Amino acid sequence: MKGRLMKTTTPIEMDALVLTERNSELVRARMVCPAPAAGEVLVRVKASSVNPLDLKIKSGQC
C-alpha cells in the first residue's frame, strides 16, 4: 500500500512484547493498536528490536 492512506473501522491488532513486572520475562501478546487522536498519525512498524537499555529497564536497573 505504498503511498496510500489506509482507512479502517475495525480495530487493528499488533504484536507486542509486554513486561508485566520487574525481572519477569518479556511475553509476546496480541494487542489492539491505539487509535490516533486529532493531529496524530499511526505508523506501521515492520520490525523492531530489544536493545541494552530495554534489558536494564526489564531487570530494574533504571
Q: Which of 8, 4, 3 is nearest to 36 (CA)?
A: 8
Question: pLDDT by residue (tens digit) across 29-56?
Answer: 999 988 889 999 888 888 888 889 988 8
Q: Is the pTM of this model over 0.75?
A: no
Tens digit of pLDDT for each residue in 3-13?
Answer: 666 665 556 88
- Tell me if 5 sits within 8 A of 26, measured CB to CB: no
